[in-house]
């Protein structure tokens, strides 16, 4: 089988296609024939080392790449009964056999069947993007039962997690202001949100609303940038609590980190919402998997201007 891999940390130049032995499923494991795999900023941070301590875990070099995948179960190991060969499934890969490859090896309880109405490309945007968004919305963007007019702002609402986050937050009863740029802002206007702001021309402070929660998925804002738009007890939460936030996170009552690790419960919520037609999927563009190195280079260097997720597909 072919897989995309890297032998050392770095930019897209460390990527190579390799021919490796296909995996054999152990007890409770399955092998999946990959049909689609979406690209996440976290894939790139894992390769470059930007995830810090989290980078110390995982398989040895050479490492595979690609968290999200969707495909068809090819082989099942002993003890697997939840899925069978031929089933269409999606999940978050976590072994040497990751999504940017012909085959994924994964525990059977880490995948879910794809509803008939959902394509492989759409399904591959769910395990990280929608599952994280479901977590973000339930942890940070859901009003208490006694809380009327709970105003939230999602910065980076046009991204892989953001497009799902605004939908889950609205479903949870929040009044949602989405902040995105250009085409993404245009797309969000059809989502029936409280307000959509284009970050190129508009600011939260000028909107007049004072927000209970402002969550930043774009990694472009500090607490100081949005302080004026917070309500008295409001809170700015960053999804990327890097060094530049350390000081404010330590000293400002209204600045906090947000953690929302995608897991199977988030994927269950996303699939349930899609099955009820309450979640719009967000495939922005698809490219053949064989072009993955070029596509990743363009993605990382900001040349791919698409609204929604970039997905690599296999026939
Ligand atoms: N803390 C956690 O537990 C956790 C878990 C999962 C992921 N994450 C992190 O969460 C982040 C978001 O992930 P993602 O997949 O949604 O990333 P993404 O797809 O790259 O989305 C980021 C979005 O921010 C937009 N943006 C850029 N500048 C902006 C600005 N000034 N104002 C508003 N929006 C702006 C980008 O649009 P343009 O096209 O206009 O640039 C893009 O649509 C990543 O950094 C990821 O590593 C954190």
Best CA proximity match to 237, nearest among 247, 221, 229, 228? 221
Residues 147, 216, single domain; the answer is: yes
The answer to whether residue 266 is domain-embedded is no
CATH number for the domain that contains residue 290: 3.90.180.10
Index of the ligand 1 atom closest to the CA of residue 42: 47
Going from the Cα of 124 to the center of ligand 1, the distance in angstroms, rounded, reads 18
Residues 73, 141, single domain; the answer is: no
HEC-encoded secondary structure of 175-234:
EEEEEECHHHHHHHHHHCCCEEEECCCCCCHHHCCCEEEEEECCCCCCHHHHHHHEEEEE
Residues 141, 249, single domain; the answer is: yes
**H/E element holding 98?**
none
Per-residue pLDDT of the chain (315 residues; tens, 9 = 90+): 999 999 999 999 999 999 999 999 999 999 999 999 999 999 999 999 888 666 667 789 999 999 999 999 999 999 999 999 999 999 999 888 999 999 999 999 999 999 999 999 999 999 999 999 999 999 999 999 999 999 999 999 999 999 999 999 999 999 999 999 999 999 999 998 999 999 999 999 999 999 999 999 999 999 999 999 999 999 999 999 988 999 999 999 999 999 999 999 999 999 999 999 999 999 999 999 999 999 999 999 999 989 999 999 999
Residues 247, 185, single domain; the answer is: yes
Residues 89, 147, single domain; the answer is: no
pLDDT at res. 94: 86
* Domain residue limits at 251: 129-257
Structural domains of the chain, count: 2
Calculated CA dihedral for residues 80, 85, 88, 94, nearest 10 degrees: 50
CATH number for the domain that contains residue 248: 3.40.50.720
The answer to whether residue 220 is domain-embedded is yes
Phi and psi torsions of 172, nearest 5°:
-80, -10
pLDDT at res. 70: 98
User: What span, in angstroms and rounded, lies between the C-alpha atoms of 247 and 236?
Assistant: 14
pLDDT at res. 51: 81
Going from the Cα of 43 to the center of ligand 1, the distance in angstroms, rounded, reads 13
Index of the ligand 1 atom closest to the CA of residue 158: 43
The answer to whether residue 270 is domain-embedded is no
pLDDT at res. 96: 84
Residues 120, 135, single domain; the answer is: no
pLDDT at res. 198: 97
Going from the Cα of 260 to the center of ligand 1, the distance in angstroms, rounded, reads 14
The answer to whether residue 264 is domain-embedded is no
pLDDT at res. 44: 96
Residues 36, 16, single domain; the answer is: yes
Going from the Cα of 166 to the center of ligand 1, the distance in angstroms, rounded, reads 13
pLDDT at res. 54: 64
Question: What residues are in contact with ligand 1 under a 6 Å CB criterion?
Answer: 40-42, 45, 132, 155-156, 158-162, 179-181, 184, 199, 217-220, 239-240, 258-261
Going from the Cα of 261 to the center of ligand 1, the distance in angstroms, rounded, reads 15
Index of the ligand 1 atom closest to the CA of residue 309: 19
pLDDT at res. 257: 97
Index of the ligand 1 atom closest to the CA of residue 45: 47
Residues 159, 81, single domain; the answer is: no
Angle, vertex CA 25, rays to CA 20 and CA 27, nearest 5: 150
């Amino acid at each position: 089988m072919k897989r995309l891999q890297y032998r050392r940390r770095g930019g897209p130049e460390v990527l190579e296609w390799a021919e490796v032995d296909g995996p054999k499923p152990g007890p409770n494991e399955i092998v999946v024939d990959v049909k689609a795999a979406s690209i996440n900023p976290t894939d790139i941070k894992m390769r470059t080392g930007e995830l810090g301590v989290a980078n110390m875990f995982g398989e040895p070099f050479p490492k595979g790449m690609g968290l999200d995948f969707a495909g068809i179960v090819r082989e099942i190991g002993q003890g697997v009964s939840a899925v069978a060969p031929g089933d269409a499934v999606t999940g978050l890969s976590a072994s040497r056999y990751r999504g940017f490859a012909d085959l994924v090896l994964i525990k059977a309880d880490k995948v879910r069947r794809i509803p008939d109405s959902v394509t492989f490309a759409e399904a591959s945007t769910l395990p990280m993007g929608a599952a994280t968004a479901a977590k973000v919305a339930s942890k940070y963007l859901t009003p208490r039962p006694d809380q009327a007019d709970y105003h939230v702002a999602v910065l980076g609402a046009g991204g892989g997690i953001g497009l799902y986050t605004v939908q889950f937050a609205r479903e949870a009863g929040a009044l949602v202001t989405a902040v995105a740029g250009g085409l993404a802002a245009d797309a969000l206007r059809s989502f029936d949100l409280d307000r959509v702001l284009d970050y190129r021309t508009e600011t939260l402070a000028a909107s007049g609303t004072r927000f209970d929660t402002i969550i930043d998925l774009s990694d472009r804002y500090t607490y100081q940038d949005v302080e004026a738009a917070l309500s008295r007890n409001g809170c700015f939460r960053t999804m990327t609590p890097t060094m530049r936030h350390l000081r404010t996170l330590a000293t400002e009552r209204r600045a906090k980190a947000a953690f929302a690790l995608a897991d199977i419960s988030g994927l269950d919520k996303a699939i349930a919402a899609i099955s009820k037609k309450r979640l719009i999927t967000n495939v922005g563009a698809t490219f053949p998997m064989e072009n993955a190195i070029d596509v990743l280079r363009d993605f990382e260097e900001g040349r791919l201007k698409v609204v929604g997720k970039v997905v690599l597909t296999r026939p």
